[in-house]
Amino acid sequence: AHTNGKGGVSNEAPSLKKIAELIKSGKAKNIIFMAGAGISTAAGIPDFRSPGTGLYDNLAKYNLPQPESIFEIRYFKKNPEPFFELARELYPSKFLPTLTHYFIKLLHQKNVLLRCFTQNIDTLEQLAGLPEEAVVEAHGSFSKAKCLDCDKLADPKWMKETVFSGVVPRCLICEGIVKPCITFFGENLPQKFFRHMKDFDSCDLLIVAGTSLQVQPFALLINSVTFETPRLLINREKVACYDTGGGFDFDGSFSPIRRDVFYGGSCDDGILELAELLGWKEELLKLHKEGHELLKEEFAKDLAGEKVDDDVDALAAEFGKKVGISEEEKSTSNEFNDNKDDAKVGISEEEKSNKVNENKDDAKVGISEEEKANKVNENEDDAKIDKIEKGEALEDKHKEETK
């Protein structure tokens, strides 16, 4: 612990213990947690930049100009195949949240979490039980997919099946490439990210974990808190220690106020140590254990369900391929003309109602008047959502690009 000679408010070097005291005493009650891939590696998901194990070191087979190209929108538009090949590995599947995820959930339960900003697309925050409003998925997620040309949202189930069948998903309306709504380099971040940037004004403790802080604008968020707000980094390595303003200053070499703490090690170890200092260790371990038990049950149920569905899906997928070849076959076939199977073969609601309009003999495609009315309503809702999203994007003053 050194003093910096500038007579700052607090020259005492802060520590993990100090951070715990801030939370215990109720001084920190608007905590922001910023997360990166390192909080999920313990779940078995590789990060991006760790030498050897990171994703970017393992893309040789794709012959990319550079590893990041796989997530570059310009590259993707010309060569979507490498991304979709990788997407089969990246699609969120049966991964279990880590201790760190449950700690974020615990902060929420204790009413001291203002927000969790995550760069991860693995949805483990939600699986750990954090409600949607508590999380900002700064780089989007796989839960939605959109046509790059006409913006039409795709049916998630169709999307997943198409990706896993090994073909590039194409819009059923305009043939544009359908891309999961994860943020690529060169694309705007989701609106929710910009809406919640103001959270940082009221943040009284920032915890950053498992990120190299190399991607903008996310990385800049660490200096969106006030210059006195304590910041804790839990990471294998020190990151963002630039002295040009805003960077972490763990040893008090350039800032007037000592407020940055570094825990060097694994996220889960750091979190466990913090939980122990807080007196929350047992509670955290219980949350983790019970959470995993519950999820394992759910995954097992899903697996059982998938087996039953498999035959129907295989048939539907085959039908889907046929549909792709011949429009005529689609409207005259009476094998799969109820709603459920339409969804399976990836016919969007909009296309369905177009089809109904095109088709003079509605009875032929087996869609009742009532169903038609429902479809029109659903379409209108979709259109409304699209409009809202577009409107905000156009008006957004913060419009920034990743990296």
Pick the closer one to ligand OAD by CB: 189 or 317.
189
Q: Which residues are catalytic?
A: 139
3-state secondary structure of 155: coil
**Least Å distance between CB 93 and ligand OAD?**
18
Nearest to 32 by CA among 225, 195, 183, 194: 225
- The minimum distance between CB 170 and Zn ion, in angstroms, equals 8
Picking from 254, 256, 251, the residue whose alpha carbon sits closest to that of residue 227 is: 256
Residue 33 site contact among ligand OAD, Zn ion, none (CB < 5 to 8 Å, cut-off depends on kind):
none
Residue from 18, 110, 236, 281 binding ligand OAD (CB under 6 A): 236
Looking up tokens 């699986």 gives 127
| Cβ contacts of 228 within 8 Å, gap of 6 or more | 9, 257, 259
Distance, CA of 208 to CA of 198 (rounded, Å):
17
CA distances, 376 to each of 41, 61, 120, 330, 339 (Å): 44, 45, 35, 20, 14
Residue 174 near which of Zn ion, ligand OAD, none (CB within 5-8 Å, type-dependent): Zn ion
d(C-alpha 38, C-alpha 41), whole Å: 5
Contacts to ligand OAD from residues 106-165, by CB under 6 A? 119, 139
Q: Binding to ligand OAD by residue 49, rule CB under 6 A?
A: yes
Cβ-contact 74, 148 below 8 angstroms? no
x/- string (CB under 5 A) for Zn ion, residues 159-188? Answer: ------------x-xx-x------------
Map residues 206-235 to x or -, x wherever contact with ligand OAD holds by CB under 6 A. ----xxx-xx-------------------x
Judged by CB under 6 A, the residue of 81, 237, 318, 358 near ligand OAD is 237
Q: Quick one: what does residue 235 bind among ligand OAD, Zn ion, none, with the CB cut-off 5 to 8 Å set by partner type?
A: ligand OAD
Work out which of 150, 220, 285, 315 binds Zn ion, going by CB under 5 A: 150
CA dist 373 and 365 (Å) reads 15
From the list Zn ion, ligand OAD, none, which binds 98 (C-beta under 5 to 8 Å, kind-based)?
A: none
Tell me which residue of 122, 93, 69 sits closest to 60, measured CA to CA.
69
CB of 256 to ligand OAD, least distance (A): 27
Question: Any contact of residue 54 with ligand OAD (CB under 6 A)?
Answer: yes
Q: Which is nearer to ligand OAD, 30 or 50 (CB)?
A: 50
For the chain, report the end-to-end CA distance as a whole number of angstroms.
Answer: 35
Minimum CB distance to Zn ion smaller for 378 or for 396: 378
Binding partner selected for residue 171 from ligand OAD, Zn ion, none, CB under the kind-specific 5 to 8 Å limit: Zn ion
Q: Give the 3-state secondary structure percentages of the chain, helix then strand then coil, rounded to 5.
A: 50, 10, 40
Which parts of 20-111 are beta strand (E)? 31-35
Binding residues vs ligand OAD (CB under 6 A): 36-38, 41-42, 47-50, 54, 71, 119, 139, 183, 210-212, 214-215, 235-237, 239, 266-267, 402
